[in-house]
Amino acid sequence: MTALPEHDHCRFCGDAVPFDMRYCSMECYRGDEARMKRERRNGILFAAAAIASVAAIAAAGILLS
């Protein structure tokens, strides 16, 4: 078995990159930035929906008592 040179993998597409690099291209960097932005937005929307749901249930409980 031959030894592979030290390498890492692109955080976006998984291609092999030199050990000190995180992405293989600017396209992958931009794609990963967009993915992280979507994930942050979705997390904020989920938290807001959860808070609104709890508030609605609490309000319904108070009004129906």
Query: For the chain, what are the domain ranges?
Result: 7-64
What digits encode the pLDDT tens for the residues 21-50?
A: 999 999 999 999 999 999 999 999 999 999
Question: What's the pLDDT score for residue 2?
Answer: 73
Question: What's the pLDDT score for residue 4?
Answer: 74
Question: What's the pLDDT score for residue 65?
Answer: 79
DSSP per-residue letters across the chain: -PPPPSEEE-TTT--EEETT-S-SSHHHHHHHHHHHHHHHHHHHHHHHHHHHHHHHHHHHHHHH-
Per-residue pLDDT averaged across 51-58, rounded? 97
Is residue 1 pLDDT above 70, yes or no?
no
